[in-house]
């Protein structure tokens, strides 16, 4: 019987103030974004990747980005597949072939 993970802290809220200065920033699509690499280990829901419009399943390592200017705050967080984020400037036209 597996031991329970009593000390897991799955519900630490994402604190934007604390994150400021810690995360990488990139300029993309005319805005500056914070970029954070997530292991996905603590995610419990699926997200829609804006790069490929596919689901990003719980437990998948991925990238979360949100605008530095704070407009929309956490509501504007976007969860991307690692590969989609890296390829965000490519394949926007006619891409997606398997």
Site residues (CB under 5 A) for Zn ion? 49, 51-52, 81, 84
Nearer to Zn ion, 49 or 65 (CB): 49
What is the rounded distance in angstroms from the CA atom of residue 84 to the CA atom of residue 63? 9
Shortest reach from residue 43's CB to Zn ion, in Å: 14
Which residue, 46 or 52, has its beta carbon nearer to Zn ion? 52
Min separation Cβ 62 and Zn ion, Å: 8
Min dist CB 54 to Zn ion, Å, is 5
Handedness of CA 70, 74, 78, 79 (dihedral sign): positive
Q: Nearest residue to Zn ion, using CB?
A: 49
* 49, burial (CB in 10 Å: exposed 0-12, middle 13-18, buried 19+): buried
């Amino acid at each position: 019987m597996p031991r329970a993970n009593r000390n897991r802290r799955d519900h630490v809220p994402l604190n934007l103030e604390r994150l400021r200065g810690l995360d990488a920033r990139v300029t993309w699509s005319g805005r500056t974004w914070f970029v954070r690499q997530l292991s996905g280990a603590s995610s419990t829901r699926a997200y829609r990747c804006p790069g490929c419009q596919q689901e990003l399943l719980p437990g998948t390592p991925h990238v979360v980005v949100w605008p530095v200017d704070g407009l929309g705050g956490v509501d504007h967080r976007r969860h991307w597949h690692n590969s989609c984020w890296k390829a965000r400037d490519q394949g926007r036209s006619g891409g997606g072939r398997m």
